[in-house]
Amino acid sequence: MIHRIASGRPWGRTLTASFATGLLAAGMLAAAPASAQQQQKPAQKPATQKTAPAKPAAQAPAAPEQPQAAAAAPQLMYSPWIKVCGKGPETNNKQVCVVSKDGRLENGMPVAIVQLFEPEGEPRVLRITVPLGMQLQHGTRVIIDQGQPAQEPYKICFPVGCMSDYPVTDDIIQKLKKGQTITLQAINMQGTPISLPLPLGDFAKAYDGPPTDPKVVEEQQRKLQEELQKKAEEARKKLEAQQQPAPAAPAPAPAQK
């Protein structure tokens, strides 16, 4: 279930106008969610006939829940931490602030999103988003620097990823302010853990400061888009260079009599 405010509507719908300047998270939160738990266990068909009990076979040892080998972290490009606040009829005129950051691949696709929700008069929530294609039964983990990992189940899934919500205390806020990296972890369909690190360097400034000017957000998104296009062009040229045939070797000179 989505955490809701007094009016019973998702936070994301309240802040859609503020996020329209370029923050992808708003569109994700405003979309109709699908329950991750419903996707996890397909319905089983009832047995049509009774069969004789099979002889017990030797059971293989259970696979470890967290495999030792981890997949290499992808190279990500990061947006700055930004703070967006808003209130209106949908929030019962209570202010809701969201401090967020995302990490994207060179093609622009977001693969890691962190959002700290602070609704006035309600508990704070740290919402993380990881890509689709993860094993839902394991949930996600969050690690700040080298601290102890926290683990939570998936709550909802969208076409761009699945989310988990973590309760937030004052101690966690201080760790986020003083930390260097927050790492999101999940286990993919091959059973391999993935780690998605996001820098915390400018989190404290965004958290303690005023809401980010929409014009500043728009400029940041423009710069990020330019950088993504530059990376895509470099990758295209590199691929074209690799596909060019090697120059033919010169023909040997004719033998002299």
Q: Read off the pLDDT of each residue in 47-63 and give the average, rounded to a whole number.
A: 42
- pLDDT value at position 101? 95
Whether domain 11-39+68-237 has CATH 3.40.50.1100: the reply is no
Q: What is the pTM of this model?
A: 0.64
Which residue would you say has higher pLDDT here, 242 or 155? 155
- pLDDT value at position 204? 96
Reported as a pLDDT band with limits 50, 70 and 90, residue 251 is: low
The answer to whether 135 and 189 are in contact (CB under 8 A) is yes
Residue 165 has pLDDT above 70, yes or no: yes
Which residue would you say has higher pLDDT here, 91 or 166? 166
Q: Read off the pLDDT of each residue in 145-158 and give the average, rounded to a whole number.
A: 95
- pLDDT value at position 142? 97
Reported as a pLDDT band with limits 50, 70 and 90, residue 40 is: very low
Phi, psi angle pair for 112, to nearest 5°? -145, 125
> In the chain, pLDDT over 70 holds for what percent of residues?
64
Residue 68 has pLDDT above 70, yes or no: no
Would strands 140-144 and 125-130 be described as parallel, antiparallel, or unpaired?
unpaired
CA distances for 161 relative to 25, 55, 94, 110, angstroms: 11, 43, 28, 9
